[in-house]
Structure 1
Amino acid sequence: MEDKSIVVIFLDDDQKPVGEFVSPVNFELDTRKLVDGKHLLRVISKDPTGKEGIRLIPFEVKNGPAIAIEGIRENAVVDGVVPLMINAYGKGDQKKFLITGSETPQSIPAFLWILVIGFLGWSLYYLITYASLTEQ
């Protein structure tokens, strides 16, 4: 043990370590015990000579149901009545995939409407032009 480094793992601002291990370490972080949001994993290593190194790893936990919102974006400036479509669905457990409710319906984008209307207009122009040429 004297010739190996010690690894101490901290989570967020906790003063009490999650664990202290002899290097190399195989460690499983159970995010189901953490609240959703941003967290910080601090890994401190101490080599046999007493020197220390630190590594900070920011990460985000999203164990709760996924939430999809259409009709407003982050930091948007809005006024009047804003229609929103909100869908929330859980992922289930990791052994079984839930298909029910896992897809969020979305409206058709404006550029697609423009393309369809443009194509229909061009088609109508083509048909009228073709019909007028065949009558002659």
Structure 2
Amino acid sequence: MEERSKIYIFIDEDIQPIAELVAPVNFELDTTKLIDGKHILKIVSKDPTGKEGVRLVPFEVRNGPAIAIEGIKENAVVDGVIPIMVNAYGKGDQKNFMIVGSETPQSIPFWIFILLILFVAWAAYYHFTSSAVQLYTK
């Protein structure tokens, strides 16, 4: 019988593996048992001769409610009073999506107002110039 490599799966700096498996293998990582934030999946394999291989896979867990912030950016330099809007909403689970609260209202960007002003100015210009042309043709 052919010996196969063993695989040990660790999360972060845990010394106890979450799984000891024989290669090749498929497994499911249950992230609901992990806190939100950055983690490292460490996979150690040992072949039948005793040689080891290590693979580190950084990942981020975000099972908790999503948090949206408007009014301040990360690492921003600010002063004075800053209006900030915060919205937090749950995503439900993989079977049910929670629609209530999942949309974050946002303010209208200033460039929309500039485009609106330019359009109104162009429309007024067009109206007055086309009226002047009609007066001269009559």
Shift of 1:110: 1.7
Shift of 1:93: 2.1
Pairwise CA RMSD: 1.2
Contact 1:2 1:48 in 2 (8 A): no
Shift of 1:132: 2.1
Gaps of 5+ in 1: none
The aligned residue for residue 87 of structure 1 is: 87
The aligned residue for residue 17 of structure 1 is: 17
The aligned residue for residue 37 of structure 2 is: 37
Summarize the alignment of residues 51-62 of structure 1 with structure 2, pairs less than 5 Å apart: 51-62=51-62
The aligned residue for residue 122 of structure 1 is: 122
Per-residue CA deviations over 1:48-77 (Å, capped at 9, x if unaligned) read: 111110000000000000000111000000
Per-residue CA deviations over 1:84-109 (Å, capped at 9, x if unaligned) read: 11111001122111111111111111
TM-score scaled by length of structure 2: 0.93
SS in 2 for 1:64: coil
Shift of 1:130: 1.3
The aligned residue for residue 105 of structure 2 is: 105
Distance 1:121 1:70 in 2: 31
The aligned residue for residue 135 of structure 2 is: 135
TM-score scaled by length of structure 1: 0.95
Gaps of 5+ in 2: none
Shift of 1:2: 5.7
Per-residue CA deviations over 1:31-60 (Å, capped at 9, x if unaligned) read: 101000000000000011111100000000
Give, as a single letter, the amino acid of the residue that structure 2 aligns with 1:59.
Answer: F
Distance 1:117 1:46 in 2: 68
Give, as a single letter, the amino acid of the residue that structure 1 aligns with 2:47.
Answer: D
Distance 2:41 2:97 in 1: 29
SS in 2 for 1:94: coil
Give, as a single letter, the amino acid of the residue that structure 2 aligns with 1:110.
Answer: F
